[in-house]
Chains A and B, each alone.
Chain A
């Protein structure tokens, strides 16, 4: 879970920094998207690493959850929680929502087959590429779609707020002195991911970016 999770965290950082080019205007974002798609070796290495990591992460997560349910044998009649965080208690659920989100998101912007009304977005300067900026503005003009993105991102951030610190513990790289700091770091990372990604649908919905 920890190693595959780290790969996904790395991807999220990369994807977030790429996405924020959205705010630098259509030329910059589209040039970046075009550069990515022209570097087939780069994009396919990243894609394959991601697919393998996502699948391994999900299989490990599901078997972990099932094994742990069985080991708990129903638990006590009265349940009391002293310190387990909300994020840690909801990991399987937030993980499944993020999985649903990723499927939708790929169909939405990678395959452009849902929630875009069958529209295509050829780039004016080179119709072989997509005008990613125009696609995002069109995609996020649907308030329902944007709301789904923002809610999923909030749950992803909750997932990360536990996962990022937990990774250090699993790898044996945490102690009582560092636990507090790493927990703060994980929560901060969650907020950065949430605010950074959500800024895109939010700004389109608010009409700041057209």
Chain B
């Protein structure tokens, strides 16, 4: 693995060979090879892709489609598997925050989309991550009466609880965990969302319903099952840990047991 140890050393330029995935929706894809000269080591990976696309346009060829938005590591849109590693060789950063100084001159770089059944390729390097949206729609929220704003300190949150919830809330929904998982499992993402909301007092009323619904939606969306290998944690740009999966499992088991033994209601007697 390349370390980002000379990050601020003098800028220089790289000549690269790129193998980039080309695919149209519903059709089989293949790698295309391109040479790219004069890439600054200070460029981000996405800026390097922009250079490649500009060159392709100048040559009258079709540019590669890829997702991106904020380019500052917070939106979760960028999504490339670089040399087999979602978000590339530097742990703890998104593709947009990966700089070309992490690559060598003359290197061949393979760029692929996220690969998982639940993330079908839309075009080239863009995949359809609506499976994540469905999971969020099924329980990634809290229901409140939206009246006038409540007094900010009306609901006390212990510091350790808020810290743990905010750590989990760092997840930007990029999907690198699914792409890195040998089982195409979304447990790190779902675990992060469940942990975040189920820890906070505001999330308590819907706690059991949330975890059961989100797990069911995750399974229906075609994600695989976690076998506790930990690749997701090693590739997550936000440092989400397997703790959230443990938390998810604990809440899920608890909710299943409670649902099984829940009261079946009042005895109905005569009258009405």
Q: Which residues of A contact B (CB under 8 A)?
A: 64, 67-68, 70-85, 88-89, 91, 162, 165-166, 169-176, 179
The number of chain B residues touching the other chain, given as a range, is 35 or more
Contacts of A77 in B (CB 8 A): 31, 110, 112
Contacts of B31 in A (CB 8 A): 77
A71 with B222: CB separation less than 8 A: yes
B243 with A68: CB separation less than 8 A: no
A41 to B180, CA, bound (A): 49
A80 to B85, CA, bound (A): 6
A83 with B243: CB separation less than 8 A: no
Contact of A71 among B85, B183, B229 (CB under 8 A): B183
A75 with B182: CB separation less than 8 A: yes
Residue of B nearest to A61 (CB): B227
A68 with B249: CB separation less than 8 A: no
Contact of B229 among A70, A85, A173, A174 (CB under 8 A): A85
Residue of B nearest to A179 (CB): B242
- 9 A-B pairs (CB sep. < 8 Å): A71-B118, A71-B224, A72-B117, A72-B184, A74-B115, A84-B230, A89-B182, A170-B228, A172-B252
B250 with A173: CB separation less than 8 A: yes
Contacts of A71 in B (CB 8 A): 116-118, 183-185, 222-225
Contact of A172 among B116, B225, B229, B246 (CB under 8 A): B246
B117 with A68: CB separation less than 8 A: no
Residue of A nearest to B224 (CB): A71
Contact of A175 among B225, B229, B243 (CB under 8 A): B243
A166 with B246: CB separation less than 8 A: no
Contact of B231 among A78, A82, A174, A176 (CB under 8 A): A82
A198 to B182, CA, bound (A): 33
B241 at the interface (CB under 8 A from A): yes
- Distance to closest chain B CB from A167 (angstroms): 9
- Distance to closest chain A CB from B86 (angstroms): 9
Residue of B nearest to A63 (CB): B225
